[in-house]
Amino acid sequence: MLELGQDSGAAADLISEGSEATFMADVVEGSRETPVIVDFWAPWCGPCKTLGPALEAEVKAQRGKVRMVKIDVDQNQMLAQQMRIQSIPAVYAFVDGRPVDGFMGAQGPAQIKEFVARIASMGSEAAGLEEAIAAAEEMLAEGAVTDAAQTFAAILGEEPENIRAIAGFARTHVAMGDLARAAEILAMVPADKAGDPAVAAARAEIDLAGASADAGETAALRAAVEANPADHQARLDLATALIAERKFEEAMDQLLESFRRDREWNESAAKEQLFKLFDLLGPKDPLAQKGRRRLSSIIFS
């Protein structure tokens, strides 16, 4: 956030030139952290020459609560068509990855000030929810399941379709041992968000928790695998039990070894279990990335 005493270069960082190539990163993804106002303009547009600087001034006055991306429609005609820009100046505001407000044509100083302030305040609300979600996830990770569940429930009271909160609320019920309720909660996710990484992780945790209930004791399963390395069912059960104990790397080793020995066993059950483990860990987890590379090396060897 920009503070008093920072130089004009820092303020200038709040305003950037965008393009078709950078729109997803600068606007859609960027707005998940800070609201973004997009100014569609052109050098020949008279009203743009007045509106643009006025918007910039108000954005800078918000001291980092909102950013602005300027798009020259002449240089980015395909993007202008996708955004259905029919006349300029046209202004859109994005919060949490989606457009939430906007206007076309010239605006007075008071209207511009009110618009920018309103968008900046949306970011404060979003940031507050994100902080609450992060806190609830930390509670869950530390074993404070009841506190986490109450926090996720409160978040959903404010934003019923928050995907991370739905997924987190479902995971608290997995931790409580109520897999049926966890599945019911996850069913609240809209169909077009079913592939979200947080949803995939929660779904994998439900599936793996259900499988671990019948897996057996780790020590006995490890002994069975050592006695007969070709016992794929024992190795799969061992991996499932290890996942329940949060021993993810050892579980991954067992699943990879099973797949290496017999890729087709039980309709590639080891690979399917690996994919669930990858989902549980998340796409950015270093262990999951390492596991995917190891699996690929086996497949293409």
Integer Rg of the chain from CA: 25
Out of 15, 36, 37, 45, the active site residue is: 45
Strand order, beta sheet including 36-41: 15-17, 67-72, 36-41, 90-95, 98-104
Cβ pair 117, 110 in contact under 8 A: no
**Cα 145 to Cα 163: distance, rounded to the nearest angstrom:** 19
- Half-sphere exposure at residue 214, Cβ-oriented, CA atoms within 13 angstroms: 6
- Among 212, 209, 200, smallest CA distance to 284 is for 200
Out of 48, 59, 122, 185, the active site residue is: 48
Cβ pair 209, 178 in contact under 8 A: no
> Quick check: is 48 catalytic?
yes
Cβ pair 156, 162 in contact under 8 A: yes
Question: Nearest-5° angle of CA 125, CA 162, CA 126?
Answer: 15
> Quick check: is 201 catalytic?
no
- Among 284, 286, 285, 255, smallest CA distance to 272 is for 255
Residue ranges in the chain assigned as alpha helix (H): 8-12, 23, 46-61, 77-82, 109-141, 145-158, 163-176, 179-186, 197-212, 218-227, 232-244, 248-261, 269-281, 286-299
Give the residue numbers annotated as catalytic, written as ranges.
45, 48
